[in-house]
Amino acid sequence: MAWRRDSMDTERDRSRPPAIELRAATRAYGRGATAVQALRGVDLALERGSFTAVMGPSGSGKSTFLQCAAGLDRPTSGQVLLGGEEITHLSEDRLTKLRRTRVGFVFQSFNLLPSLTVLQNVLLPQRLAGERQDRRRAQQLLAEVGLPDHGSRRPGQLSGGQQQRVAIARALITEPEVVFADEPTGALDTRTAREVLGLLRRAVDAMGATVVMVTHDPVAASHADQVLFLADGALVGNLWHPDPQTVADRMVKLTAEADEFAGAAA
């Protein structure tokens, strides 16, 4: 059963390196006096089988963090390790391969290819990586996300929530080390959003997937094990076992501080 992980896996996980690690990661856009410090020395390690939400005021560096951690962008200095392997200095070709096989992505806008069937979309990462396309696993994943009979349809024939379920199946097909989700519920209504978050939670609990999710929504964040808070490019706090109200209170405080800072700088 694709969702179940056995206790042996849990034992093994303890002796394995973190799924993702950042060491003193910085990212500056531009140079000299006009440079923007989007990340200012971020240190963190996220264990395999964990679900982490990343929050922060607008412009705090969440997208930059996600892009550097996922190998879509390179930090200006510092290191990013995926499953213990330093990826900062990999060639473009190797980074591209890594993104196709060792990292999964779920985007706000689903990003399915409209001309492919649902099943072909799920298989796309394996196809792009030149790997054997495991139709059985793709079908199984579609069943797991509640779409057992939708494989031959086109994305345009599905609702937004169903498309996001397909995107989750696609993100899991290669058994990636980390699934990065960027506002995965931003385009969904409340009930559908809850279902999608429940699926991400199940992927972590039952499959041992590791999920890192950027979100503005305290309710979405409360599905994670931990929330990391970013402000002005730095990690300024975290919250284990988050509840929506505590997350919302922290965000109000951080946003007020960011506005105050921006006001003082203007």
Ligand X SMILES: Nc1ncnc2c1ncn2[C@@H]1O[C@H](COP(=O)(O)OP(=O)(O)OP(=O)(O)O)[C@@H](O)[C@H]1O
Give the binding site for ligand X (CB under 6 A). 29-30, 36, 38, 56, 58-64
**Of 37 and 140, CB closest to ligand X:** 37
Amino acid occupying residue 225: D
Quick one: CA dihedral 44, 48, 53, 59, positive or negative? positive
How wide is the angle at C-alpha 110 spanned by C-alphas 28 and 46, nearest 5°? 50
**Of 73 and 144, CB closest to ligand X:** 73
β-strands 77-82, 85-86 pairing: antiparallel
Amino acid occupying residue 137: R
CA distance between the termini of the chain = 57
Write down the least CB distance from residue 39 to ligand X, Å: 8
The whole-angstrom separation of Cα 46 and Cα 211 is 9
Write down the least CB distance from residue 134 to ligand X, Å: 34
**Of 56 and 151, CB closest to ligand X:** 56
Quick one: CA dihedral 229, 237, 74, 91, positive or negative? negative
Write down the least CB distance from residue 31 to ligand X, Å: 11
Nearest in space to 103 (alpha carbons), one of 81, 136, 119, 79 = 81
**Of 118 and 239, CB closest to ligand X:** 239
Question: Can you give the length of the chain in residues?
Answer: 266
Measured between alpha carbons, how far is residue 83 from residues 46, 48, 129 in Å?
10, 9, 19
- Kindly report the backbone phi and psi dihedral angles of residue 101, in degrees, each rounded to the nearest multiple of 5, phi listed first: -115, -35
Write down the least CB distance from residue 66 to ligand X, Å: 8
**Of 60 and 162, CB closest to ligand X:** 60
Write down the least CB distance from residue 109 to ligand X, Å: 14
**Of 73 and 225, CB closest to ligand X:** 73
Write down the least CB distance from residue 244 to ligand X, Å: 19
